[in-house]
Amino acid sequence: MLYDIFIDPFVQMYDMPDFFLQVLWEGFVAGILYALIALGFVLIFKASGVFNFAQGIMVVFAGLTLVGLHENGVPAYLALALTIGAMGILAYGVERVVMRPLVNQPDIILLMATIGLTYFLIGFGEFVFGGEPKQMITEELGLPTGSTAFEFGDRGLIILQHIDIAAAVIAVLMVAALGIFFNKTRIGRALRAVADDHQAALSVGISLNQIWAIVWFAAGLVALATGIMWGARADVSFALEIVAFKALPVLILGGFTSIPGAIVGGLIIGFGEKIGELYWGGLVGGGVRELARVYGGLSALWRAPLLSLLERQIEPGPLLMDGIFVSEAARGHGVGTALLEAIKTHATHNGLFAVRLDVIDTNPRAKALYLRHGFEPAGEEHLGPFRHIFGFKSSTKMIWPAPTQ
């Protein structure tokens, strides 16, 4: 066990440097996007001292608005402009309806107001756009697709997705623009004054309501950029709201009022998540004891009951398959198909009469892949209120019947 924790991961890094560099790149892109999400929290907290619980759903709402407009025949760039306008209307509405009536109220009241805003946007979004995942209009917006491979002789290669490069560049440009806005413009300096002392800012003629509307609009633009980038990587769905809460440890590390801190914190979390997931993730087994080894005793106590909701009964006869994972850099090259064929061959050679798996509703591409390879739907399970915790509403039981001998 100690070897698996302290030695083996580093041996793997040394033996496969190309894979390690690939992991670092994936961590860098994820960290930049986490930092972008955290910036939305930072902007609003700097101006009002309010932790915006609704930032996650704003990411989803912005992405769904953009895709929904395009699905209804609006050209991509016009849909983008209209979505920016929609985020402006949302910012104005939040300032007038939520923030202005609650001036000088305790922070907990403002936090509860943003929680209420979250559930309003969830309900409104599902009513207007539906709950099905949607594909981001990446090519229509002129964002690059495809990938570029860099070979290192006999040491392997690194594959960089063009959309990941674009995401990193856009995030860096947005962070730089926000830095200039805060430090070089009159409105930015007024926003910093409001953040330092509301009453002093009011005494010198700074409009608190105007500043709040501007900062909510800026947070909306950040949410839109984040929704486009994350949506291009993993479709647009309400599961993105869960991704947004990964910005919380970023804020804890970098501070709730620091833009540089959000960037550094995002990179730390991004690198740590990818390296830990791929080099230490296999240490987690299926019981409370294994969970406690990784997450600690107290954390395991609440994780285990939640994970038990997803537990599936193992039946004699079929091969129970948890799923397959293909790195983003390797997708589109037939790897998933090869893995499925190997699994079916393994089941047949071992005398098993079927392969069973469950696919969640936020992963329609995986479901389409399984259907193409002979898997048949055999029932559906719904999570009910727990969908907001796990990030998906239902799962479909799928079975591949092995050919009879």
pLDDT band at 199 (very low <50, low <70, confident <90, very high): low
Q: pLDDT above 90 covers what percent of the chain?
A: 15
Half-sphere exposure of 234 (CA within 13 A, CB side): 20
Bigger pLDDT: 352 vs 285: 352
**Which pLDDT score is estimated for 303?**
57
The per-residue pLDDT of the chain, averaged, comes to 81
Range from 56-65, 265-274, 292-301 carrying the lowest mean pLDDT: 292-301
pLDDT tops 90 at residue 45 = no
Sign of CA dihedral 256, 259, 264, 269: positive
Q: What is the rounded average pLDDT of the residues 80-101?
A: 92
**Which pLDDT score is estimated for 336?**
83
- CA–CA dist 140, 120 (Å, integer): 30
Look up the pTM and report it: 0.69
pLDDT tops 90 at residue 273 = no
DSSP code, position 404: P
pLDDT band at 284 (very low <50, low <70, confident <90, very high): very low
Tell me the residue type at 240. Answer: L
pLDDT tops 60 at residue 293 = no
Domains of the chain: residue spans and CATH:
2-280 (1.10.3470), 285-313 (no CATH), 314-401 (3.40.630.30)
Residue 57 parent element (H or E): helix 55-71
pLDDT tops 90 at residue 65 = yes
Residues 6+ apart with CB under 8 A from 1: none
pLDDT tops 90 at residue 44 = no
Task: State the pairing for strand pair 318-320/147-151.
Answer: unpaired
pLDDT tops 90 at residue 205 = no
Residue position matching structure tokens 């892949």? 369
Query: How is residue 89 written in tokens?
Result: 């209307």
Residue 268 has a CB neighbour count (10 Å cut-off) of 18
39 contacts 21 by C-beta, under 8 angstroms: no
DSSP code, position 204: T
Residue position matching structure tokens 């894979």? 19
pLDDT in tens, 124-177: 988 888 877 788 898 899 998 888 888 876 667 788 888 889 988 888 888 888
Report for 243-257, 320-334, 357-371: range of highest mean pLDDT:
357-371
